[in-house]
Structure 1
Amino acid sequence: MNIFEIIAKLIDMRSFSNLWYWIALAVVWSSASHWVLGVPWDMVGRARRKGAQAENDLVTLTLINARRLNVIWADAGVAIAIVFPFLLSFLGFTGFFYGAEIAQAVFLFALPLSAVFALSMSLAHRLCAQSGDGLGSDLVIRALSRHRVWVQAIGIAAIIVTSFWGMFQNLRFSALF
Structure 2
Amino acid sequence: MDWYSSVFELIDMRSFSNLWYWIALAVFWSSASHWVLGVPYDMVLRARRSGGQAEIDLNDMARVNVNRLLHIAEVSGLWLVGITCFLLSGLAMLAVGYGIEFAQALLFLVLPMTVIGALSLSCARRIRAQAMTGEALWKQLGRQRTITQIIGTISIFVTALWGMYQNLTIGVLGG
Q: TM-score normalised by the shorter chain: which range applies?
A: over 0.9
Alignment of 1:40-51 (within 5 A): 40-51=40-51
Structure 1 CA distance for aligned equivalents of residues 6 and 151 of structure 2: 35
Alpha-carbon spacing, 1:87–1:6, altered in 2? closer, same or farther (3 Å): same
AA of the residue aligned to 1:6: S
- Residue 165 of structure 2 corresponds to residue 168 of structure 1: yes
Deviation at 1:65, TM superposition (A): 0.4
Unaligned runs of 5+ in 2: none
Deviation at 1:125, TM superposition (A): 1.3
SS of the residue corresponding to residue 17 of structure 1 reads: coil
Partners of 1:47 and 1:54 within 8 A in 2: yes
Partners of 1:13 and 1:101 within 8 A in 2: no
Which residue of the partner structure matches residue 15 of structure 2? 15
> TM-score, normalised to structure 1's length?
0.93
AA of the residue aligned to 2:45: G
Q: Number of residue pairs matched? A: 174
Match of 1:141 among 133, 138, 141: 138
Deviation at 1:6, TM superposition (A): 3.1
Which residue of the partner structure matches residue 64 of structure 2? 64
Tell me whether 151-160 or 85-94 shows the greater mean CA deviation.
85-94
Q: Give the fraction of aligned pairs with identical amino acids, expressed as a percent.
A: 49
Which residue of the partner structure matches residue 76 of structure 1? 76
Which residue of the partner structure matches residue 33 of structure 1? 33
Partners of 1:36 and 1:144 within 8 A in 2: yes
Which residue of the partner structure matches residue 128 of structure 1? 128
Match of 2:155 among 130, 152, 158: 158
Structure 2 CA distance for aligned equivalents of residues 12 and 124 of structure 1: 40
Deviation at 1:8, TM superposition (A): 2.3
Deviation at 1:176, TM superposition (A): 6.9
Which residue of the partner structure matches residue 53 of structure 1? 53
- Residue 119 of structure 2 corresponds to residue 115 of structure 1: no
Q: CA RMSD in A?
A: 1.5
Structure 2 CA distance for aligned equivalents of residues 70 and 50 of structure 1: 29
Unaligned runs of 5+ in 1: none
Structure 2 CA distance for aligned equivalents of residues 154 and 102 of structure 1: 21
Deviation at 1:72, TM superposition (A): 1.1
